[in-house]
Structure 1
């Protein structure tokens, strides 16, 4: 492999990205380089006369050296060009040139290979160019297009922008603003979903599979994979690859080949089970054989140390360059139980694989893959598809969720997560998936960071902010559980029963003690017992128990049923179980049941049966909360009026040009930034003596407050750092002397005067740019509730009006905002508007490391921002930006 040429000066490496095209294959986008000269000539030579004419408005057989030099030598500012490659072959070019240096308008153009039309290449290049342009103050794209170039006109029209057309002298002049719109975002996400879902369909529905490392020796990893695929009745073509066996050697009844290159008819999916040092060579062979997907079962990658980390990095780099998806390394494999596929490419023998069903499962590590499948199999829970990501170098739970969105064979999803590479994208996809199918998540590491994330995973663990992660799941409608046991408790309920219409439950039993236990558990989990507990005699016959079950289900005040039965003798009559199941089947209400002493009941039944009432009630409560969320209005994305993004961007750009490492904004800079988003901060006047304080008061008039402004004091509530209700010059002078005497011995500096706000409730709104979550917005009642009790609600932009309403109402101190103990309720509309503005501000500008509005006085007539601190830093690379890109 030849050494790449040195990168040109100013080369923006952060623009490089791997993307999934509309056909599910992987491509690479990067800035153009001078060493692309030969590739440009080769690309142009392969184009049809028509394509050349549509791009250049002339029949240019060969580009001149001068033209190619101009194309490949750009400044990455006024002249920007991107290329897209597939397996190192150039397949598309996109560029823009500003009409004026540093100007806001640029002319955009594209050229897509004739051999790669229809794969969404032009759309991806436009997305990336528009996002790059916005970051560099380009506001509008223009282009001249020949009328017969319908494909290019379609790229602009279908992108979701408001496009204007003018016909002049045989050419259509196209123009559009590149600021994202609701429609353009929806188009981008829809394209991303279709591409990634199609990519996962190729992974899960291969027409041919090769097991590389299929040994003749039993009990080796490759041999076990091969045996399990054969035993599972895979419906496609299966091949054994063993470079140490004589060609034609029979392994599991299959004639082996020495290399995947020797497989006739090609291979869709290759299972790699060879020693880690040999994997990269096998990847190259798979590329030569045009393999689409790799399942890398081999160990010895990032989980094993620095050498393995480098090997894993190279694995991803090669696979992406060759356009292949990777499950693993260190993967337990995948399953597709579709009868038309019947693929068990795992290390689980056929007798331990759950039957065909409608639960989609995802786990990260191989060991957990074993536990997940074993738990499902013990309960008789059928699965549709399963994947173990191992070190998750490429394919993740986000990819599987994109597939499950459209998969009619999957009615519920279970995910066991150890770490998360792209929480913003997870939240976005999970919210969409949860709106149509239950998503149950086990997230390890609830101990708040006590245990380290397993080595090999791409991104640090969410253990560092467990409370934020929990609220992110809640915002997305995900059912959060603590362990695998609870995951399957919930799964067997939501798969086999309708969702409850409310939280009202009936309890029927043949044991007063068991009924009380179930009722107490229901109340403790937020359910309302409206029927019963109704208890029949311990020795009651089946008919009696069926009768009370039917009466409870017929009660209009009951949304769900809890049925508990303890056998009066050692063995229970199965007719009791049949009777309950039949009654429930005739109803549209869900039921959870406990038949004490009946091990395994429910393994093949639609009626979910639990070993204890508490297990069933906990699952029912989770399903009820999910049903509430699903019925609720998720609201509209907030879009406050009066926002000037350019003015805010100018403030941030100016500060970071002066201080590239970032710093806290001055009050004047913070005011300019916040006012660009319609957030007005009440002015303060810094004073250094009692005379200055009195002079400032005379200019302000009215009632004022005096406060110490040192950051050293901001987390020491109740210490008297503020003087309120000052209405006279003498009072102002005395207050200054008193406050100065208090803070000076502490080494704290800074005293300021401010107009006194109307009485109300002081709240705090803050944001931070988290390396994992991206922007996080926090809200709480200022002072002790936030500082001492940690009573803060977090939400994740982009936010809806319902998100904000729920955020404000979710804190424990929320009653203070609604007229606590006779006080006047605050203006919730004004408060929600302020939070919306902060949410959009932090979502638009990743340079905002921290923003803290405190205090903010909320009162019955509005809201006043009395203090603000803003810290800016170089913008991190967000994991879910405005342009599509695969995680790396």
Structure 2
């Protein structure tokens, strides 16, 4: 869900932390708004307290308290949001002028350097919805930003629900009982278990909210007025209403102000609609949408499909309208699909559909779930689906995805027993880190096929809330690869891959057998197979056009009887005559019974056809998908084989290198930033501070000594021990031994003095480096290959790790591998091996193999530091010399700044 930007709340007190505002989904699939408590919330807080039961009040304050005394009330609402922090969950009032209603409060008071006492209070009417867990996640995240690392609380023994919230959050809770009070305490730094708990809570809540939309049994369509038939909004509303009325008769349909046939059932006003109603489809002008959604709250609506546009894509005024709409919807517990949505389709029992969309001819029901942001593209996509005969389980168009996004649908599809394959068309990714986390979880269960707008995947259409990014386009490709996502170039390829993954078994391998009508066709098919990353097994069966039925059966049996083949490509394009029905039946029958993944390019067949459908010995129906060209067939099969290999492979374990203390790193950086008072500007760390920071994660930098002249260089070398390296601090020559800026294996004083003179002369013609100390003297590292390891904090992607071998060739040719933390040990190994020059590390051309394990350990430590420390704006280890025994960091640079990371597991935000 999208963060809602807070209004300004001027007060003489502390700066209001608007970044802590978020809209969240609760266990029951409904929504609420979480924000910091404000001084003007006094009346709402008193109303919340008065509305609580005597038991709840006693649990919170250990005493009966009918009303909060004015003095205590003032103290509770006036917090500094630093040492005293309070968050509230609120719901919207029924009228625009109504104040927020507080339904939950969480607060902490610092009682030590990094320890705080925490307390919660949840409205009686809203207990059991997961508010306590959500508020704990948000409060813990806010506390970590303020330097608090441990929560303590005093709880009555009978308040088992609150103690359960602490334990269920995944923290290691310690408790003791004294004088009838249970004292609990726990560290709030994320652990594997607490992160898994938060991700699981997020998954269940978002999946539930999507299930409520897609399985709605009652719908209300709200239009712009019965006399608005010629307007776009009027036509949209009329189209959806007509589709709903002819789709599933078990769905109860209401209509308000929808132009069209006066004989249709119509309510004069929204207030006349009897509740409850689960889903609303709204097509009204943008300036009326918030009021309509407010009126829907009375009906208990779970979700709103907003067909009309006129919101954030139209500039600041439209953005204000969109924010107002979301505040109303989320405050009333609703999810919003749109604006600018094409609608939703969902398969139901008996082959019927919930057709709350603009598609007058929906596709048949099936096992593929599709998500598409663009409404115009939805028209073409659904038309292509129908032409191919592809059946869908669900289709959702998110439009400008102000709220519901592809992440939400992936959460739902992970549990949906009616969906086997997922396809996503994404115009933009608002939260790549969350997408990666959710997609990886889903890809381990079901194939996920993704098309991004543009090759870079960084197109930002008007109205889409997306942070800027400075990451190279390859970053997105690497993130998708890590997540197990099948990335394709266009929607044509997406459907090509979807139909083979949905209607054929997963490939057991890449070895490919070919059936073709001639040697020349077989050669072309073999080329297409190889280009798709498959391997021709050597079994190529030629079947002339005039082959009799018995020869056809024999050829097909021989093809599928080959034990050295995993997949089959059948190409049959006759020069005269029509389709060969004997071949079609033989291929369909044998493919189904053998379980061998098969694709076909057969004249006059396209998509999923009955001619290529057969059942296996267990009665399950399989269809061999037909493609227009052999290249399309081979490409789809290649994607399927790579996905199967990824899913069957070892995905690794989370990184936990020994000796990593990221808490110490956070303390160091917080102190430096506070001392420098640099605001949001990046603070470049000195070499000493950089080494101190890296030491917290077990990375050491080979010491170097800044010197001015030959005498100081000799003294430094004497203290280090011969041989040494001498290098200039001029940026253009700093790591360039080939240009003379670095001299290695300097063995004695005479050689060193000569090298110093030559390096200083060379540097005089370039931009100066460190004026005070133009040279560095450093001990010699063991001989090996020089590499570069970098980390950059991107506004959109968060931390990005890159690796490459040092030198101009890697930079000029782009031979750099990227990874997006959090990484596993397998991800790190693949990162090192992805660089095209990586063979130099593994014994290239008879050279000894280098200590790649030490290099991977180093990268793992950098990845953990970057993931846990969003203040780390940039880090460069250059060079890292990998030898036969170890990896040594010879140079390091780092910069830090205030944290501004877009994603955290506690927030469901994309901005």
Greater shift, 550-559 or 649-658, is seen at 649-658
Distance 1:684 1:805 in 2: 30
Partner of 1:510: 517
Residue 742 (str. 1) matches residue 762 (str. 2):
yes
Greater shift, 604-613 or 497-506, is seen at 604-613
Partner of 1:380: 389
Cα pair distance change 1:600/1:794, threshold 3 Å: closer
Residue 885 (str. 1) matches residue 908 (str. 2):
yes
CA contact under 8 A between 2:388 and 2:606: conserved in structure 1? Answer: no
CA contact under 8 A between 1:226 and 1:252: conserved in structure 2? Answer: no
CA contact under 8 A between 2:735 and 2:742: conserved in structure 1? Answer: no
Partner of 2:305: 295
Gaps of 5+ in 2: 1-6, 93-99, 614-622
Greater shift, 772-781 or 639-648, is seen at 639-648
Distance 1:235 1:521 in 2: 49
Greater shift, 455-464 or 376-385, is seen at 455-464
Greater shift, 127-136 or 774-783, is seen at 127-136
Greater shift, 155-164 or 10-19, is seen at 10-19
Partner of 2:82: 77
Q: CA deviation at 1:59?
A: 1.9
Alignment partner of 2:246 out of 225, 231, 238: 231
Residue 108 (str. 1) matches residue 118 (str. 2):
yes
CA contact under 8 A between 2:400 and 2:463: conserved in structure 1? Answer: yes
Residue 527 (str. 1) matches residue 534 (str. 2):
yes
5 Å matches for 1:295-314? Answer: 295-314=305-324
5 Å matches for 1:69-218? Answer: 69-87=74-92, 88-100=100-112, 103-213=113-223, 215=226, 217=229
Greater shift, 145-154 or 797-806, is seen at 145-154
Gaps of 5+ in 1: none
CA contact under 8 A between 2:789 and 2:802: conserved in structure 1? Answer: yes
Query: Deviations along 1:312-345, whole A, 9 cap, x unmatched?
Result: 3332333223332111111111111223772111
Any idea what SS the aligned residue of 1:428 has? Answer: helix
Q: CA deviation at 1:80?
A: 1.6
Cα pair distance change 1:22/1:489, threshold 3 Å: same
Greater shift, 649-658 or 805-814, is seen at 649-658
Q: CA deviation at 1:541?
A: 2.3
Alignment partner of 2:438 out of 401, 417, 429: 429
Distance 1:453 1:880 in 2: 18
Cα pair distance change 1:430/1:204, threshold 3 Å: same
Distance 1:464 1:80 in 2: 35
Residue 257 (str. 1) matches residue 267 (str. 2):
yes
Residue 6 (str. 1) matches residue 48 (str. 2):
no
Any idea what SS the aligned residue of 1:405 has? Answer: helix
Residue 55 (str. 1) matches residue 60 (str. 2):
yes
Partner of 1:799: 823
Q: CA deviation at 1:638?
A: 0.4
Residue 343 (str. 1) matches residue 350 (str. 2):
no
Partner of 1:624: 641
Q: CA deviation at 1:131?
A: 1.6
Distance 2:746 2:734 in 1: 22
CA contact under 8 A between 1:29 and 1:82: conserved in structure 2? Answer: yes
Alignment partner of 1:501 out of 492, 499, 508: 508
Partner of 2:720: 700
Query: Deviations along 1:59-99, whole A, 9 cap, x unmatched?
Result: 22222222222221222222221111122221111111222
Q: CA deviation at 1:462?
A: 7.3
Distance 1:845 1:501 in 2: 41
Partner of 1:318: 328
Q: CA RMSD in A?
A: 2.0
Partner of 2:589: 582
Residue 486 (str. 1) matches residue 493 (str. 2):
yes
Partner of 2:854: 830
Any idea what SS the aligned residue of 1:591 has? Answer: strand
Distance 1:787 1:252 in 2: 69
Q: CA deviation at 1:716?
A: 6.8
Alignment partner of 2:28 out of 1, 23, 27: 23
Cα pair distance change 1:458/1:4, threshold 3 Å: closer
Residue 43 (str. 1) matches residue 48 (str. 2):
yes
Query: Deviations along 1:347-380, whole A, 9 cap, x unmatched?
Result: 1112xx1100010000111111111111111100
CA contact under 8 A between 1:227 and 1:252: conserved in structure 2? Answer: no
Partner of 2:550: 543
Alignment partner of 1:640 out of 620, 632, 657: 657
Cα pair distance change 1:387/1:463, threshold 3 Å: farther
Distance 2:75 2:697 in 1: 41
Residue 609 (str. 1) matches residue 619 (str. 2):
no
Distance 1:601 1:773 in 2: 38
Partner of 2:4: none
Q: CA deviation at 1:757?
A: 0.4
Q: CA deviation at 1:581?
A: 0.3
Cα pair distance change 1:133/1:276, threshold 3 Å: closer
Query: Deviations along 1:24-59, whole A, 9 cap, x unmatched?
Result: 111111122222222222112221122122222222
Greater shift, 157-166 or 457-466, is seen at 457-466
Distance 1:819 1:137 in 2: 47
Q: CA deviation at 1:429?
A: 0.5
Residue 871 (str. 1) matches residue 895 (str. 2):
yes
Alignment partner of 2:602 out of 585, 595, 612: 595
Alignment partner of 2:873 out of 849, 853, 871: 849
CA contact under 8 A between 2:427 and 2:457: conserved in structure 1? Answer: no
Alignment partner of 1:572 out of 568, 575, 579: 579
Any idea what SS the aligned residue of 1:746 has? Answer: coil
Query: Deviations along 1:432-459, whole A, 9 cap, x unmatched?
Result: 100010000111211687xx53211111
Greater shift, 690-699 or 212-221, is seen at 212-221
Partner of 1:455: 462
Give aligned pairs, total.
874
Residue 467 (str. 1) matches residue 482 (str. 2):
no
Distance 2:373 2:585 in 1: 38
Alignment partner of 2:882 out of 840, 858, 863: 858
Partner of 1:732: 752
Any idea what SS the aligned residue of 1:711 has? Answer: coil
Partner of 2:702: 682
Any idea what SS the aligned residue of 2:87 has? Answer: strand
Distance 2:405 2:17 in 1: 27
Distance 1:519 1:274 in 2: 55
Partner of 2:731: 711
Q: CA deviation at 1:181?
A: 1.3
Q: CA deviation at 1:308?
A: 2.7
CA contact under 8 A between 1:448 and 1:465: conserved in structure 2? Answer: no
Any idea what SS the aligned residue of 1:745 has? Answer: coil
CA contact under 8 A between 2:607 and 2:627: conserved in structure 1? Answer: no
Partner of 1:444: 453
Greater shift, 462-471 or 418-427, is seen at 462-471
- What TM-score does the superposition give when structure 1 sets the normalisation length? 0.95
Greater shift, 778-787 or 357-366, is seen at 778-787
Distance 2:607 2:290 in 1: 46
CA contact under 8 A between 1:74 and 1:81: conserved in structure 2? Answer: yes
Residue 811 (str. 1) matches residue 835 (str. 2):
yes
CA contact under 8 A between 1:232 and 1:343: conserved in structure 2? Answer: yes
CA contact under 8 A between 1:240 and 1:251: conserved in structure 2? Answer: no
Any idea what SS the aligned residue of 1:387 has? Answer: strand
Residue 220 (str. 1) matches residue 235 (str. 2):
yes
Distance 1:879 1:817 in 2: 36
CA contact under 8 A between 1:28 and 1:85: conserved in structure 2? Answer: yes
Query: Deviations along 1:277-310, whole A, 9 cap, x unmatched?
Result: 3223322322344432111111222333443333
- What TM-score does the superposition give when structure 2 sets the normalisation length? 0.93
CA contact under 8 A between 2:303 and 2:334: conserved in structure 1? Answer: yes
